[in-house]
Chains A and B, each alone.
Chain A
Amino acid sequence: MWAGTGYRYEPYLEAPLEPPAARDRAATGDRKQAVARLRGRERQLAARLKSTAPRGVYIVIDQTHNRIYLKRDDDTLLEAVCSAGSGMVLKEGSGKKRQWVFDTPRGSFEVLSRSENPVWAKPDWAFVEEGQPIPKNPTERIEYGSLGEYALNFGNGYMIHGTLYERLLGRAVSHGCIRVGRDDLRKIWAAATIGTHIYIY
């Protein structure tokens, strides 16, 4: 019973085209017209498909392997290590119910704003993580220098920015942002403009 049971594997072959005899019985002239019409349609669809691909420079981030790629069309301009979200869950103590999950979002984004020497307005979780009280005064949230020289904001508080902890690049240690080393960040900053596509998988 077990013999011959399982899966039979065969080399992949493309499905044969439907034989002409079974196809429409149009006259030769009609078929020529159909070929011309379909060729036009094929060109049109191919052009539409090409237009979906990103034009110019775009950024691809492999968050599992903590790699960032700067690309233009089929060329990779830069491959660098980065740090994506740690996946850690932070729970607020003292009977409070808030919690944060430090994941980097997957999907398609674009650079919404760029800033030089960015300041970080620390969110609540940054204080909770350090066991510090959450300040009432917004100015107490401001921190200088921790985001490096540049930041590219791609929405919902997520950014590509520099880091003080370059030795941890290549490992998932961030709170969801993408941390990049200083030299690589300079190259990315020089190439990326507002509207540059960012794809994170």
Chain B
Amino acid sequence: MHTGLLGRPLRRNRLGISAAIGLLLAAGACSRGPGGSAADTSAATDVARLERSTALLQRQLELAGARDFYLLLDPAAPDLTLMLRGAELRRFPVLGLQVGTPRISWFSRRDARAWQGVIWSRGELDPPRPIDRIVVTPVEGGKPDEAAEPPPIPPTAEELYPVPSRFRVRFSGGLSVEIRPREGDANAGSFARFRAWWSAKWGDVVAAMRSSDRDAVRLRIVLNPKDADSLYRSLPPAVRLLVLSGGPPQP
């Protein structure tokens, strides 16, 4: 009978070596693991990134193929673009972008619903833009009176539609966007600023405590005051929205 270095039978020693080799191989396999090596991790990350990118392109194609107006929020640019059928209608530079979640007594009601990479639909302004239509019923046989005063010049959109200091676009499924003009109330007096702050704070408290899923996820977008006003005055009804990929640019 052959013996090994420690006088143990060689057969047992061979078994031990085989077991050690097996363990080493298994350890090696584990260290490579699912995505263990740098190359594997990189390939898997590429797959994940490309899957996200293609899914977003699919969503954009879906939006461009429909009749509805839509907004593309690009956090990387960062900008908010009003689109229709693949055509860019108006681009608004985004000055600030935050994600708001409701909380009650410091406890956050973080919502697990998907909002990135999905299409938000049926967006409507809140408060709604007032529509003040003039109704005319002319007198039959009436001739324009030469001596009468000419009809008044109608107001412009800026004169016609007052824009609230902040407003929301509410989408179905509890998703909403809050638009705030940067330093929108800088010119207001301290009492007006306090009133605006209190009104917003109270609105937030009520919204957070509401059991319905309204405003479960709220994106806050800061725009130039002129852009915020323009968006409020001209946003078409039933707008859709897609948040594109990418994070905000690093300072």
Residues of A within 8 A of B86 (CB): 49, 52-54
Residues of B within 8 A of A89 (CB): 133-136
Interface 1/0 per residue, A1-17 and B, CB below 8 Å: 11111111111111101
Could you tell me which residues of chain A, from 1 to 56, have a CB within 8 Å of some CB in chain B? 1-15, 17-21, 23-25, 28, 31-32, 34-35, 38-39, 41-42, 45-46, 48-49, 52-54
Q: Which of A35, A41, A64, A171 neighbours the largest number of chain B CB atoms within 10 Å of its CB?
A: A64
Interface 1/0 per residue, A162-197 and B, CB below 8 Å: 000000101111000000000000000000000001
Task: Verify A88–B139 contact, CB threshold 8 A.
Answer: no
Known interface pairs A17-B48, A53-B86, A93-B138. Does A64 touch B233 (Cβ–Cβ under 8 Å)? yes
A128 on the interface (CB 8 Å rule)? Answer: yes
A117 to chain B, nearest CB (A): 26
Q: Which of A1, A45, A94 neighbours the largest number of chain B CB atoms within 10 Å of its CB?
A: A45
Task: Verify A14–B75 contact, CB threshold 8 A.
Answer: yes
A132 to chain B, nearest CB (A): 8
Task: Verify B234–A201 contact, CB threshold 8 A.
Answer: yes
B44 on the interface (CB 8 Å rule)? Answer: yes
Known interface pairs A52-B64, A65-B234. Does A8 touch B133 (Cβ–Cβ under 8 Å)? no
12 contacts between A and B (CB under 8 A): A6-B102, A7-B218, A20-B35, A28-B39, A38-B54, A45-B57, A53-B64, A53-B86, A60-B87, A65-B233, A90-B137, A131-B141
Q: Hey, which bits of chain A sit against chain B, CB under 8 A?
A: 1-15, 17-21, 23-25, 28, 31-32, 34-35, 38-39, 41-42, 45-46, 48-49, 52-54, 58, 60, 62-66, 74, 86-94, 101, 106-108, 128-133, 168, 170-173, 197, 199, 201
Task: Verify B99–A9 contact, CB threshold 8 A.
Answer: yes
Task: Verify A31–B47 contact, CB threshold 8 A.
Answer: yes
Complex Cα gap A62–B227 (Å): 13
Interface residues of chain B: helix, strand, loop or mixed (majority)? mixed
Task: Verify B131–A168 contact, CB threshold 8 A.
Answer: no
Residues of A within 8 A of B205 (CB): 2, 5-6
Q: Which of B44, B106, B218, B220 contacts A23 (CB 8 A)?
A: B44
Residues of A within 8 A of B213 (CB): none
Chain B, residue nearest A88 (CB): B134
Residues of A within 8 A of B54 (CB): 38, 41-42, 45
Known interface pairs A4-B106, A7-B102. Does A20 touch B139 (Cβ–Cβ under 8 Å)? no
Residues of A within 8 A of B104 (CB): 4-5
Q: Hey, which bits of chain B sit against chain A, CB under 8 A?
A: 33-35, 39-41, 43-54, 57-58, 60-61, 64-65, 67, 69, 75, 82, 84-90, 97-108, 116-117, 131, 133-144, 153-157, 161, 201, 204-205, 207-209, 215, 218-220, 230, 233-234, 236, 245-248
Complex Cα gap A199–B83 (Å): 10
Task: Verify B57–A107 contact, CB threshold 8 A.
Answer: no
Complex Cα gap A8–B142 (Å): 62
Task: Verify A107–B247 contact, CB threshold 8 A.
Answer: no
Task: Verify A66–B157 contact, CB threshold 8 A.
Answer: yes
Residues of B within 8 A of A87 (CB): 131, 133-134
